[in-house]
Amino acid sequence: MSLSKAIDIASVRFSAPDLQAMRAFLHDFGLRVAEDAGDGVLRMRGLGPAPFIHETVQGDAGFVALSLRVSTLAEMQTLADADGTRVEPLSGPGGGHVVRMRDPDGYRVEAVCGDVQASPLPTPSGCPWNSAARQDRTGQTKRISTEPAHIVRLGHVVLGVSDITATWAWWQQRFGLLVSDEVRTPDGDVASLFIRCDRGTTAVDHHTLNFARFPGSPARFHHAAFEVSDLDDLMAGNRFLAERGHVHEWGVGRHILGSQVFDYWRDPWGHRLEHWTDGDLFDANAPTNVTDMKTMMGCQWGPAPPGNFAS
Ligand SMILES: [Fe+2]
């Protein structure tokens, strides 16, 4: 029995010395400036209803925190009581409440609840695809503009951790999560867990979190991933970012675990951010799949990962 049930990831927070440069990059990446709360924090949103999904505070560059959304204030109070902390007002557009915690590696983890959702912005509906077997577009051309991708929502965060067993116990106890894929080393040790939310019969992303041990590396943020509207949108966003001279890392390809089409970029301070589309969705009945490192790092098509990706 967990203290709460996370229903989705809510936002990620970074620090950076130049908020204007961060804003310019994030615009090119496909995020929009959120409502200004007047507290000096740069907040960006997607086209979906979350009031913001990416925050930057002024300071030395680095990953600061991630937040998960829970359903009720009662769950928030239970989380706060368990860690001897309290439910606090959440600053930023949408308001709401927050419980601030630290996981076994010291990552700042926040549970949020009760924020007022924003009006969704228009999302491109996508032009139908013709395949050899099925023609869904006749008498209609397809024209894709080269412009920033249309990010709809934050999808997942990957964290390097020092002790997967301790990390999983901490997060599962607080947020009632499920393991979609358990990745093992040849020796049988758990190297990585792909984790989804438990929303009963509602299908959710294959992974909202991933914890991984990167041999020789300290526990550190690996990447945050944002869902774009479709494959054409991802590819147009790739071209736009490339033409603007941003740092590309890996893609475009299709992962094996989670199946999503991926494209990885770096922000001006090296934080790894992913565009993705067309991922797997599972409800709570799907069993845990046990697999290996080769499968985790492989892709179904696209280039091989760069050598430093798993570090
Ligand atoms: Fe990812």
Tell me if 1 is assigned to some domain.
no
Distance 38 CA to ligand 1 centre (A): 32
Kind of pairing between the strands at 108-113 and 62-70: parallel
Domain contains 199: yes
* 108 within some domain: yes
CATH assignment of the domain containing 45: 3.10.180.10
CA of 261 from ligand 1 middle (Å) equals: 10
Residue 133 lies in a domain: no
Between the CA of 207 and the centroid of ligand 1 the distance, in Å, is 9
Confirm whether 307 is domain-assigned: no
Please give the residue range of the domain that contains residue 280: 6-117+149-300
Full pLDDT tens readout for the chain, 311 residues = 899 999 999 999 999 999 999 999 999 999 999 999 999 999 999 999 999 999 999 999 999 999 999 999 999 999 999 999 999 999 899 999 999 999 999 999 999 999 899 999 998 888 899 999 999 999 999 999 999 999 999 999 999 999 999 999 999 999 999 999 999 999 999 999 999 999 999 999 999 999 999 877 789 999 999 999 999 999 999 999 999 999 999 999 999 999 999 999 999 999 999 999 999 999 999 999 999 999 999 999 999 999 888 87
Residue 124 lies in a domain: no
Terminal CA-CA length for the chain:
34
Please give the Cα distance from 231 to 126 (Å, whole number): 9
Cα gap 151→9, rounded to integer Å: 15
The alpha carbon of 136 and the centre of ligand 1 are apart by a number of angstroms equal to: 30
How many separate domains does the chain show? 1
Domain contains 308:
no
pTM (whole model) above 0.85: yes
Distance of CA 225 from the midpoint of ligand 1 (Å): 5
- Looking only at the bridges linking them, the beta strands covering 6-16 and 54-58 are parallel
- Can you tell me the distance from the alpha carbon of 4 to that of 109, in angstroms, rounded to the nearest whole number? 14
CA angle 295-300-306, nearest 5°? Answer: 70
Residue at 141 is within a domain: no
260 CA from centroid of ligand 1 (Å): 9
